[in-house]
Amino acid sequence: MQLTLYTDYSLRVLLYLGLSRHRTVTINQIADAYGISRNHLVKVVHNLGNHGFIKTTRGRGGGLELARPPAEIGIGDVVRKTEMNFELVECFNKEKNSCPITAACFLKGALYQAQRAFMAVLDGATLADVVDNADWLRATLHIQQDESEASSCQPPR
């Protein structure tokens, strides 16, 4: 299964905000850190705000921050709210399916099972889990660390 860039960018925004817990950040800071278009991120940020993952504040001194602690943001939940299409193959879409072997095909059962397993793994992970190596991620993204955000620099698991 391949996630869309929209979901990828949504996860990246949340990672960045998870690494910047004690301050607000701007869309421009996130875009610069990842080398991606600010315009793409505007839509992503709007959607993340609508789903209650982030809070946005407009105006001078405004910015973005997580709406709840990283341990309360499930990766599977984010993917479900940002990924528009979970149809791995044509036969997953009953309205548009034209595959002649659908009724006799056992492959779709295996693919459904694989998709459920994929999502089960994501459901077992939170934003806190994926920013567990915060120092390393901050260094890579050039994010200043606050005194209160001290953690150990660990390689990925």
Query: Within 13 A of 50's CA, how many CA atoms are on the CB side?
Result: 9
Round to whole Å and give the CA distance between 66 and 20. Answer: 9
Q: What is the DSSP string of 30-68?
A: HHHHHT--HHHHHHHHHHHHHTTSEEEE-STT-EEEESS
Cα–Cα distance for residue pair 72/126, rounded to 1 Å: 7
Instruction: Report pLDDT for 70.
Output: 97
> Which structural domains are found in the chain, ordered by start?
5-145 (1.10.10.10)
Cα separation, 78 vs 51, in Å, equals: 9
What average pLDDT values come out for the chain (157 residues) when binned by 10 residues?
A: 92 97 92 95 97 93 94 97 87 87 89 94 97 91 68 48
> ∠ at Cα 89 (82, 86), nearest 5°?
15
Tokens of 44: 């992503």
pLDDT at 152: 44
**Please, are residues 122 and 116 in contact by the beta-carbon 8 Å criterion?**
no
Report d(CA 119, CA 115) in Å as an integer. 6
9 and 36 in contact (C-beta within 8 Å)? yes
Instruction: Mention every residue, 6+ apart, whose C-beta is less than 8 A from residue 89.
Output: 99, 107, 108, 111
Full-model pTM: 0.85
What single-letter amino acid sits at 147?
E
Helix (H) / strand (E) element for 72: namely none
pLDDT score, position 101 = 87
